[in-house]
Amino acid sequence: MALAAEMTHSQHAMYHTGVTLECPASCLGIYTVEDLLRLLTTAGHLALTEKWRTSGPPHRGDFPPHSEHSFNCPLSCLRLSAKVTNALRFDRSGCVSIGDLIRIIKRHELREVRNIGPRSVSEVRAALVAAGFDVQSYSELS
């Protein structure tokens, strides 16, 4: 197979041999932002898992990295910014888990949380997608 710079557009295919920095992202199977987030999250989990093995548990009560997130996972598994995490925790709903967050979203109450604006909603959406949750059915995140 030719080097990426010598290849025509039609020769680039998902996972072809000889993928280089010059190849389009589609050669890695990335077509959407969601695909990119999943790839980065997977890579991040692998890096964090290795760090966990070599340096011991992280500080501040973080959970060890894991790839399967559930409604029972704490908000810290989503790795949201401190601003968003604190806004959710100190809201009247007392959101502490991913399940609590999903319930707030399903009730269309996320935008009612103090200090949660459009950027924070986008951050929550990206974090849920990266964690493997299907957010297309949640109109409040659109």
The pLDDT, as a whole number, for residue 65 is 59
Query: Tokens 């990266």 appear where?
Result: 130
Put simply, whether the predicted model's pTM sits higher than 0.85 gets the answer no
Contacts of 78 (CB under 8 A, 6+ apart): 69, 98, 101, 124, 127, 128, 130, 131
Measure Cα distances from 58 to 51, 52, 53, 64 in Å.
9, 7, 10, 8
Give every residue of the chain whose pLDDT is below 70, as ranges. 1-11, 14-16, 36-67, 142
Reported as type and span, the H/E element at residue 43 is helix 33-55
Residue 1 is predicted with a pLDDT of 44
Is the CB of residue 138 less than 8 Å from the CB of residue 127?
no
**What integer pLDDT is reported at residue 43 of this predicted model?**
61
Q: Give Rg (Cα) of the chain.
A: 19
21: CB partners within 8 A, 6+ apart: 4
pLDDT at 59: 43
User: Using CA atoms, how far apart are residues 66 and 49, in angstroms rounded to an integer?
Assistant: 8
Q: What is the pLDDT of residue 110?
A: 93
